[in-house]
Structure 1
Amino acid sequence: MLTEELIAEPHLNVRGKLIRRQDADYEQARKVHNGMIDKYPDMIVQCVDVADVIAAVNFARENDVLVAVRSGGHSGGGFGMCDKGLVIDLSHMKGVHVDPVERTALVDAGCTLGDVDHATHAFGLALPSGIVSTTGVGGITLGGGLGHLTRHCGLSIDNMLEADVVLPDGSFVKASATQNQDLFWGLRGGGGNFGVVTSFLFRLHPVSMVVGGPMLWPMSEARTVMQWYRTFIQKAPSISMGSLRFCRCRPDRRFPSICGGKRCAE
């Protein structure tokens, strides 16, 4: 566990930034997307490379320290943050390398979906994943990766070709269909408890114009809409994708992500 002496002198050799509770940027560093999550780690390591991740994992193991791993900080349950313990923050590991010939992208685990879209869009390619640009690639991929392109191109994990992983013993391995197959199988939807993924190799897909957006009905029409959609989607082309969301909101509030900024009473 992290004692006061260990926090004061952690002997943790990293190139990135080590942030503790008394530091001026601690409050900003511990914030996550879900404002209901309010956790206070003792230390946050903002890693800048794989060597930093290895050092942080070894430090946590040798000192029996609770660890949370953060990519974009979008986890609804706040799993990228912890009380006490150590947060391994990957958000400064931002590289994206696109191979337009092979239609692949090597993506560091701290990238957001917006980072990936920016890099792949220049080549007319896209990674099937979520719909919110600030979501971290690491978290959404290890959880499956559902989005607008899923029905036609599959989940993010269906398009994950390789992953570089720092295991709990501090070793660095590659997981793929031909290397460490059991680990590769576990990473593809099993969450983030097998190690710290530092980068992903993804298959990309040609994408040009995408048309999408919300269509709104009153709650009283839910059964009719769902029955219609069940029939429609069975014969719809694979490029068609939809999802259903049920919302109750105050008539004096605006929810731009749901209804384009219109008041619900309208």
Structure 2
Amino acid sequence: MSPFSKAHTRLAALRADLTGDAFRPEDPGYDSARKVFNSLVDRHPAVIAQCETKADVVHCVRFARDLDLHIAVRAGGHSVAGMSLNDNGLVIDLRRMHTVTVHPGSRTVRVEGGALMSHLDHATRPHGLATTGARDPTTGVAGFVLGGGTGWLDRAFGLAVDNLLGVELVTSDGSRVRATDHENTELFWALHGGGGNFGVATALTLRLHPLPEFSIALLTYRPEAGPDVVRTYREIMEAAPPEAGGGIIREQLVDALLTYTGPERDLRELAQPLRALPHVAEILTALPHPELQRVLDSPPGLRNHWSAESLTGLPDEAVDVFCELGNAMPVPTATRHLLFPQGGAIDSGPDRYPVPFRDARWTVHPFGMWEDPADDERCVQWVEDVRAAFRPWSSGAVCLNLIGDEGVDRVVAGLGAANIRRLAAVKAVHDPDNVFRFNHNIPPL
């Protein structure tokens, strides 16, 4: 049988086996299926399989292995580097698998591999429960958690990966495995930061925390007030309890956001130094936690280039650099310049996992977003300028969720040089042929 005939026969068999759909480039719906969050990415897979069940995922992995096709996994969210697509390979698209099941008695939740943060928040909110989620409701839960996971609640509840209790995985030979603290324990360790390197995560089980009250203070200032605002915010956060979080968000104006996993009256006192500075707008209110996600809700279809640096501290010189680079942001674009505090439950969380950015004090996150291709060069350059300017205060680590494809050295920075050999050994057991390579890749040992 010719290679073409074999591929045609196997594709027909895959389509017959799938509960979901499979698209080839000539099929109606293919172009829609291959669109991703970042419009800088323009790739053309040979097949896009929209899975609805674990069995669908197994069929897809075996189909790709039989035809020696590369596999990319689309778990629902951003993947700013476009790692959820490939050229001339198979994309396993999990977005139809987005069921979220809350177990209030055990304070746990099972989240299917294609669920977004909005699905998770919608399911947990009625129970007065929450876990650390991303800062944008359109982020995919699986990629976010398995990459470490830093969000609005991390100072109170720890990194997302600290709340990971189990992963259901389809490995490179089509086997179904489960990883927990008691089953496939070495794989479970590797999944705490190692992302999609070890298989297709069809479901995750996460720990939930009581969140009966949640409050925010959002104050807006003119750009010239930036240095005073950031210094004041720094002083507040360096003395704040773990219940407090938030960040500085620089767009055309300067926003100082304080979040609090508690009542508004407690937040009001914490925010007083910021309220004492001249500002142009103020919101201080109790708020359902999922509503906060709208603050950084990022529209799809823009051109994106992001990066980040984990910082050992935020001295006055670094504050000045942050504000100067905020003034230099490319305009008019949707670009944002972000600064988040760490500490709290992030720092006190378990140190055994491959998430070396845990002990940083702050994270700076240049977030380039624009529409016009003519702005590509200046927007990308601005992000790179921010990274370069903050290197004097860099811890050397980085949260891989916050960056694109920045090369092998940055993967090592995101996982820790001391962890790489152990991770590569796990990779060699569960994906010896590096089938799952469209990610922040860990080559097998």
Matches of 1:5 and 1:213, distance apart in 2: 62
Matches of 1:191 and 1:8, distance apart in 2: 32
**1:217 CA displacement:** 4.6
AA paired with 2:44? Y
Instruction: Look up the match of 2:62.
Output: 58
**1:18 CA displacement:** 0.7
Instruction: Look up the match of 1:91.
Output: 95
Query: Does residue 335 of structure 2 align to residue 250 of structure 1?
Result: no
User: Number of residues paired by the alignment?
Assistant: 255
Matches of 1:213 and 1:111, distance apart in 2: 29
Q: Report the more deviating stretch, 42-51 or 231-240.
A: 231-240
**1:214 CA displacement:** 5.0
Matches of 1:28 and 1:139, distance apart in 2: 22
Q: Report the more deviating stretch, 98-107 or 215-224.
A: 215-224
Q: Report the more deviating stretch, 160-169 or 216-225.
A: 216-225
AA paired with 2:8? A
**1:240 CA displacement:** 0.7
Q: 2:191 aligns with which of 146, 162, 187?
A: 187
Instruction: Look up the match of 1:116.
Output: 120
Instruction: Look up the match of 2:412.
Output: none
Q: Report the more deviating stretch, 157-166 or 239-248.
A: 239-248
Query: Does residue 22 of structure 2 align to residue 18 of structure 1?
Result: yes
Unmatched runs of 5 consecutive residues or more in structure 2: 251-325, 339-445
Q: Is the 8 A contact 1:7 1:42 kept in 2?
A: no
Matches of 1:230 and 1:236, distance apart in 2: 10
Listed as ranges, the matches of 1:187-266 within 5 Å are 187-212=191-216, 214-217=218-221, 222-246=226-250, 247=326, 248-250=329-331
Instruction: Look up the match of 1:8.
Output: 8
**Deviations for 1:29-52, whole angstroms, at most 9, x for unmatched residues?**
001111211111110010111011
**Deviations for 1:39-70, whole angstroms, at most 9, x for unmatched residues?**
11110010111011111111112221111000
Going from structure 1 to structure 2, the CA distance change for 1:254 and 1:156 (only over 3 Å counts) comes to closer
Instruction: Look up the match of 1:262.
Output: none
Matches of 1:222 and 1:4, distance apart in 2: 61
Listed as ranges, the matches of 1:64-83 within 5 Å are 64-83=68-87
Going from structure 1 to structure 2, the CA distance change for 1:28 and 1:123 (only over 3 Å counts) comes to same
**1:210 CA displacement:** 2.5
Instruction: Look up the match of 2:281.
Output: none
**Deviations for 1:111-155, whole angstroms, at most 9, x for unmatched residues?**
111111111111111121102112111111111111110000011
**Deviations for 1:196-219, whole angstroms, at most 9, x for unmatched residues?**
110001101111332336544555
AA paired with 1:92? R
Matches of 1:215 and 1:72, distance apart in 2: 32
The DSSP-based 3-state class of the residue aligned with 2:48 is strand
**1:105 CA displacement:** 0.5
**Deviations for 1:174-211, whole angstroms, at most 9, x for unmatched residues?**
10111111111111111111101100011011113323
Matches of 2:7 and 2:221, distance apart in 1: 54
Instruction: Look up the match of 2:35.
Output: 31
Q: Is the 8 A contact 2:69 2:89 kept in 1?
A: yes
Instruction: Look up the match of 2:174.
Output: 170
Greater Rg, structure 1 or structure 2? 2
The DSSP-based 3-state class of the residue aligned with 2:156 is helix
Matches of 2:148 and 2:164, distance apart in 1: 10
Matches of 2:81 and 2:125, distance apart in 1: 31
Q: Going by fraction, where is helix more abundant, 1 or 2?
A: 2
AA paired with 1:170? G
Unmatched runs of 5 consecutive residues or more in structure 1: 259-266
AA paired with 2:194? G
**1:5 CA displacement:** 3.9
**Deviations for 1:152-184, whole angstroms, at most 9, x for unmatched residues?**
001111101000011111111110111111111
Query: Does residue 125 of structure 2 align to residue 44 of structure 1?
Result: no
Identity %: 40
TM-score (norm 1): 0.87
> Root-mean-square deviation (CA), in Å?
2.4
**Deviations for 1:217-251, whole angstroms, at most 9, x for unmatched residues?**
55555554444333322220111112344552536
The DSSP-based 3-state class of the residue aligned with 1:242 is strand
Matches of 2:218 and 2:5, distance apart in 1: 54
Instruction: Look up the match of 2:368.
Output: none
Q: Report the more deviating stretch, 118-127 or 4-13.
A: 4-13
Matches of 2:217 and 2:83, distance apart in 1: 29
TM-score (norm 2): 0.54
Q: 1:156 aligns with which of 152, 156, 160?
A: 160
